[in-house]
Structure 1
Amino acid sequence: MTADRTSPRLHVRPAAGQWCNDPNGPLFHDGRYHLFFQHNPERPVWGGIHWGHASSADLLDWEDHGIALAPTPGTPDSGGAWSGCAVVEDGVPTAVYTGMARTDGIGSVMLARATDPAVTAFKADPEPVVPGPPPGLDLIAFRDPYLFTHAGARWAAIGAGHRGGRPDVLLYRVDTLTDWTYAGSLLDAADPVAARIAGPAAAWECPALFPADPARTGPGDPWILLLSLWTDDITYTTVQLTGALRPDGEGLRFAPERGGPLDHGRDFYAATALVEPDRVLVWGWSWESRTEQESVAAGWAGCLTHPREVGLHPDGGLRIAPARELTGLRGRPLPAGAPLPPAYEIELRAEAALPDTEIAVRLGDDVVLRATPTRGLLELDRSGAPATSTHPLPRADRAVATGPAGPGLRLRVLVDGPLIEVFWNDRAALTEKVHPAPRGRWRAETVRGKARTDALAWTCATAPDRGRPSAPDA
């Protein structure tokens, strides 16, 4: 691995640079994971949206395959191939996506089938399966289909927002991929739990609904709904709601019971999910904390996060952790006090012996993580490398996560160039982009109180470089 830390090296993003946003259509097909993403191949700004494509045999090393799906002039996706999901239908990987030909946020649902087993490209059907929203709803948003199966039937959730400020998730029954029937609202902001946790928002984008445990999908077993909050072109944050799926007339209704942020950082949005027999993998889009002008000068903007396993703990709280495969990125040990390489992982375990004990992990001189486990607080302080982005407002220098209080602490900190992903006790995640990326040396310390601590770190690299000496710099 080179010593260049200006961009992520281990995460999915276009090899050619330019623009990357929402993850789309994760699939496992013929022994490989396929992951697609929104991509502008012309400039590192949003616009001209295509689907980019990468694949991996192990969730560690990703191969870029260029553009998988492009807008077609004169068709319902002429304005962009926007977000959606993918399924394998009759052995053929098929994208189910938003065709956009309008400028008001109202799309259609389109299908595109893989042209070969390696999914090097999709060919879109000329006509949408859902040309637009049902009449009479007066929507400002209709996009991002996500398919799921419940009680032997297949359904689709579509993100929506009503004029006047009421976000919604619309539900369709999908008897075949070409036969969709509108079945009402799955969840809207009239629900008090949803209004409290998933508001304010003008629309809910990128809904993803999956069982908390794929092995338990009987009546009463919990489901998790991911929603990304959108207001006036501001992509704000992604939340998770846990609840039950209940029959409702000819459709279903999601009844949320609890929830909160899916990620407590400010560079995570538009999460999507891949349901496997024993787990659910989730990816998000990590945007930039710098200005658009700085991204244009750098030649790239946006990447996808590492995959995360999402479910519930036995007490009903959210479980979120790096995909188990990611320990395979660990290379050579990185002793405390060593210069930081371009990519690395730090794992800290601690037990606080006194109330209000504060434990810090310092990433060079400019970034520090502070944990106060008995108060259930985690803070990322980037005041040494403040964000330059001003959209929608200038950022504070600190991002804070909250969670259950207790003496025990486990942090996993995965850093890839400017991208920092922190996982706390498998209960909370915090994602931030820091430009310039952290430099200097790392250390862990108890700065207040008393604690027993143990911290380990490793360099991380792509397969050819794992185990080789890294190229750190102080």
Structure 2
Amino acid sequence: MSGIIDNKGLMMYWAFDEGTGASALESISGTQDDVQYVFNQAEFTESCTPPWRQGVSGHGLLFDGYSSYIAHSAHGEAGDGRLEYLSALSIGVWVAPRTYEWGYESKLAAIVNQHNMNNKQGFLLGMYRHGSWSFQIGLEGGDWKELWSPDGYELPKNEWSYLNAVFNGNDGEVKLFLNGSEIASTAVDRGSRMAAAADTDLLIGRNNHSSKLAEVFNLHMFGGIMDELKIYNRALSNEEVAASYREVLDSAPGGTVPQVKYDDIKLDRAPLLADRHRPQYHVSPPAHWMNEPHAPIYFDGHYHLFYQHNPQGPYFHHIHWGHWASKDMVHWRDLPIALAPEKDQLAPDGIWSGSATYDADGLPVLFFTAGNDSASPNQSVALARSTYSEDGDTDLVKWIKHPELLIVQQKGMGAFGDFRDPFVWKDEDVWYALVGSGIEGGGGAALAFISQDMLHWTYKGPFFEADIQKFPYLGPIWELPVFLPLGSDKHGVSKYLLLVSPVGVGADVEVFYWIGQFNKHELSFIPDQEEPQLIDVGDFHFTGPSGMVDPKTGRNIVFTIAQGDRTSELEYQSGWAHNGGLPLSVYLREDGRLGMEPIKELQSLRGEKLLSLRDKSLAEANDLLQDVLGDMLEIQLELEPGTAKQLGIKVRQSPDGEEETLLYYDLNEVMLLVDRTKTTQHPGEKCSGIQGGKLELLGENLKLHIYLDRSMVEAYANGLKSLTTRVYPSRKNALGLEIWGNGELLVKSMEIWEMQSVW
């Protein structure tokens, strides 16, 4: 790429044309710089080198947004000191951002920098909120100069942009260029020189002074593809900048900037498929962070499910809506991010949880919690529409936000400042909404709203609130209300299901529910029993509920997040955090209790049947189990207690039994339990102890329907309760099974299948 502009004064040049490996050549000094990347030496998956992609010229390097960067030493090489006390500096680089950072502590996500802002030394070129960008430089005499991109010149995601920053101390000016054209300038004193950050390495893709999150994650990292980074010790002219931009265009097919292929820049699931702890038939993002899945909806033959997602890394921060689609709620496809924070007055700081329903024309709409930290309260309800009616997009990839907030919390409307997670449904020609909040000075509550047109909403008061004095574990705030019709009971009375997730001081963060009646006139809920129940008796691994009535089958389907159980250090090392639980069908049983079972479509994942037995003793069953191994299994088991008062099954057992997880039922305590005291010997893993909860079997045998999916363990007992937990064995051979009891028992039946990945 030489010959059009004069490369005199070119101090550093990374062409990023390697296309493979874990180093990048700085061609002026001949230095091979290491590319830092979390999977260069992976602990839980197969090691691999950083991803290289198509660049504007040859290859480019894809930075993952949280672990990828290059450190170019400022010491001990030919040309040492070249960035000290320069009277001119020019930087040119092509970038295709995949994500924008939130801008914590007002710091830039660095593209390239060697700076110390406190000492007003060095330089920094980087991105900020919503695609804005800046060049900043420290000058002799203690001045720190910042030049920002003007409005309208933000960097688009998933597209190439050519950035140039030029410092000309002799003429006393700093300039920014975008795609070959000057877009901003500012004056400095004539004769200015840059004050060097001499003891600081030059970093590409990481801020020299990044903030730490959870003492592990460096914020202010660049996420996206980078190519053709050049640094000069002279001021390039406007003509030279324009020529360097045209040089790429002239060499590209059609004379235009190459398009970034979505498959080149999207988060890549492939490196995680071999992760021995990452579930493979549970729904999950391609990589990085998720919390609750939500807003399920069926449209044009496909189910759509969205999820809270940080595409920047495996940590909780700048939340977007991720998106999957499926024909059967089992085999999911990753789709582009549906909703992202933008430079607007709706939700610049986060797109939080919500729900989906249909508009008057039967087209999908999304209701979401709009996060705006400059507003009070900083949580409101907003809406986005699919572009399906304009472009026939059956994958529902594109969504347009309604320009105004729909519901803004007022004083007296719940606990002021806590107002989120709208659950919206349409009944005939009326729309109803529940919003999670609380009662000032009281406990959590779901607030009720009604609308005739889906855009203008009337507050109807609390839909339901519980007595926090009687049930303090229900907390001061409720999140993620879900309301589903269960049909009529045996007396012909229409019953409904209300789910909530308590948070705040004293809250037990689990999914609680009530069965009761719906007063549509008053827009209120009357529970059959005051005390709430749990769907799942695991400890914080079945949370974040969402739900829908499946139009295809009429079933009530509930989705949840299956929380991980790991430290931030291990989430950094693994590159992912959390996944969804299996979709549950919930229904009203003949006895009035809530029934639940994983959806039948999961049977499509069954591979080889590994075992089928009937009426065996404990010893006989375990003898047949000796050769049955796996960490992706479906198990159906019925145990008749006999003399045993505790009975169940050990899973993920190593041959010596030093690692194992015990799922069991205690007849005396009437509890379904999991014992994880021997689950793992890995020194960094957290999972341990015994968890569980009440389960009334009323004389029935114990019937367990168990799904093992690497670190996921889900046990469904007698169609009444589930127990979801996480296991991270250190032994790769912790794959065995063993029936267990503290007395004689009969294995009435047992069937085991291998399960296949959906990815």
| Smaller-chain TM-score bracket | 0.7 to 0.9
Give the equivalent residue in structure 1 for 2:72. none
Give the equivalent residue in structure 2 for 1:175. 452
Question: Residue 110 of structure 1 aligns to a residue in which SS?
Answer: strand
1:441 aligns with 2:718: no
Moved more, 349-358 or 223-232: 349-358
Q: After the TM superposition, which residues 143-222 of structure 1 pair with which residues of structure 2 at under 5 Å, given as runs? A: 143-149=420-426, 153-190=430-467, 195-196=470-471, 199-213=473-487, 220-222=493-495
Q: Distance in 2 between matches of 1:82 and 1:160?
A: 14
Deviation, 1:240, is 1.0
Deviation, 1:324, is 1.4
Deviation, 1:219, is 8.3
Deviation, 1:30, is 0.9
Higher RCO (Cα < 8 Å, 6 or more apart):
1
Read off the aligned partner of 1:451 and give its amino acid letter: L
Q: Which of the numbers 345, 349, 367 marks the counterpart of 2:638?
A: 349
Q: Distance in 2 between matches of 1:118 and 1:216?
A: 38
The C-alpha deviation readout for 1:130-153, integer Å capped at 9, x for no partner, is 123455655241000001356874
The C-alpha deviation readout for 1:387-422, integer Å capped at 9, x for no partner, is 9999xxx87511113211324121011011111111
Read off the aligned partner of 2:433 and give its amino acid letter: A
Q: After the TM superposition, which residues 283-362 of structure 1 pair with which residues of structure 2 at under 5 Å, given as runs? A: 283-335=559-611, 336-338=625-627, 340-354=629-643, 356=645, 358-362=647-651
Question: Residue 139 of structure 1 aligns to a residue in which SS?
Answer: coil
1:378 aligns with 2:672: yes
- The answer as to whether partners of 1:148 and 1:210 remain within 8 angstroms in 2 is no
Q: Structure 1 residues 44, 82: closer, same or farther in 2, change over 3 A? A: same
Give the equivalent residue in structure 2 for 1:121. 398
Equivalent pairs counted in the alignment come to 456
Q: Based on CA coordinates, which of the two structures has the bigger radius of gyration?
A: 2
Q: Distance in 2 between matches of 1:243 and 1:137?
A: 22
Q: Distance in 2 between matches of 1:359 and 1:434?
A: 17
Read off the aligned partner of 1:443 and give its amino acid letter: E
Moved more, 408-417 or 375-384: 375-384
Q: Which of the numbers 259, 262, 273 marks the counterpart of 2:535?
A: 262
Question: Residue 510 of structure 2 aligns to a residue in which SS?
Answer: strand
Moved more, 180-189 or 137-146: 137-146
Question: Residue 418 of structure 2 aligns to a residue in which SS?
Answer: strand
Q: Structure 1 residues 363, 137: closer, same or farther in 2, change over 3 A? A: closer
Which TM-score applies when normalising by structure 1? 0.88
The C-alpha deviation readout for 1:295-351, integer Å capped at 9, x for no partner, is 122111011111001122111112111111112211112242235334111110122
Read off the aligned partner of 2:315 and give its amino acid letter: V
1:279 aligns with 2:555: yes
The C-alpha deviation readout for 1:413-461, integer Å capped at 9, x for no partner, is 1011111111000100111121238823113244413324321111101
Q: Structure 1 residues 121, 71: closer, same or farther in 2, change over 3 A? A: same
Q: After the TM superposition, which residues 87-106 of structure 1 pair with which residues of structure 2 at under 5 Å, given as runs? A: 87-89=357-359, 90-102=361-373, 106=378
Q: Distance in 2 between matches of 1:237 and 1:310?
A: 17
1:11 aligns with 2:282: yes
Q: Structure 1 residues 55, 358: closer, same or farther in 2, change over 3 A? A: same
- How many percent of aligned residue pairs carry the same amino acid? 27
Deviation, 1:363, is 3.0
Give the equivalent residue in structure 2 for 1:428. 721
The structure in which a higher percent of residues are strand is 1
Q: Structure 1 residues 144, 360: closer, same or farther in 2, change over 3 A? A: same
Question: Residue 448 of structure 1 aligns to a residue in which SS?
Answer: coil
Read off the aligned partner of 1:85 and give its amino acid letter: S
- The answer as to whether partners of 1:357 and 1:373 remain within 8 angstroms in 2 is yes
- The answer as to whether partners of 2:430 and 2:453 remain within 8 angstroms in 1 is no
1:239 aligns with 2:491: no
- The answer as to whether partners of 1:373 and 1:409 remain within 8 angstroms in 2 is no
Moved more, 253-262 or 316-325: 253-262
- The answer as to whether partners of 1:109 and 1:131 remain within 8 angstroms in 2 is yes
Q: Distance in 1 between matches of 2:710 and 2:466?
A: 38
Q: Structure 1 residues 234, 301: closer, same or farther in 2, change over 3 A? A: farther
Q: Distance in 2 between matches of 1:83 and 1:117?
A: 23
Q: Distance in 2 between matches of 1:137 and 1:413?
A: 40
The C-alpha deviation readout for 1:264-322, integer Å capped at 9, x for no partner, is 11211111101125310101011211112211221110111110011221111121111
Q: Structure 1 residues 278, 139: closer, same or farther in 2, change over 3 A? A: same
Q: Structure 1 residues 362, 435: closer, same or farther in 2, change over 3 A? A: closer
Give the equivalent residue in structure 2 for 1:472. none
Q: Distance in 2 between matches of 1:235 and 1:359?
A: 27
Question: Residue 480 of structure 2 aligns to a residue in which SS?
Answer: strand
Contiguous gaps of at least 5 residues in structure 2: 1-269, 388-392, 612-624, 655-659
Which TM-score applies when normalising by structure 2? 0.56
Read off the aligned partner of 2:547 and give its amino acid letter: A
Moved more, 118-127 or 442-451: 442-451
Read off the aligned partner of 2:382 and give its amino acid letter: M
Q: Distance in 1 between matches of 2:490 and 2:364?
A: 25
Read off the aligned partner of 2:590 and give its amino acid letter: P
Question: Residue 532 of structure 2 aligns to a residue in which SS?
Answer: strand
Q: Structure 1 residues 190, 219: closer, same or farther in 2, change over 3 A? A: farther
Q: Structure 1 residues 166, 191: closer, same or farther in 2, change over 3 A? A: closer
Read off the aligned partner of 2:676 and give its amino acid letter: R
Q: Distance in 2 between matches of 1:415 and 1:339?
A: 13
Question: Residue 46 of structure 1 aligns to a residue in which SS?
Answer: coil
Q: Distance in 2 between matches of 1:450 and 1:235?
A: 35
Q: After the TM superposition, which residues 393-404 of structure 1 pair with which residues of structure 2 at under 5 Å, given as runs? A: 397-404=689-696
Read off the aligned partner of 1:208 and give its amino acid letter: V
Q: Distance in 1 between matches of 2:413 and 2:386?
A: 35
Give the equivalent residue in structure 1 for 2:215. none
Give the equivalent residue in structure 2 for 1:469. none
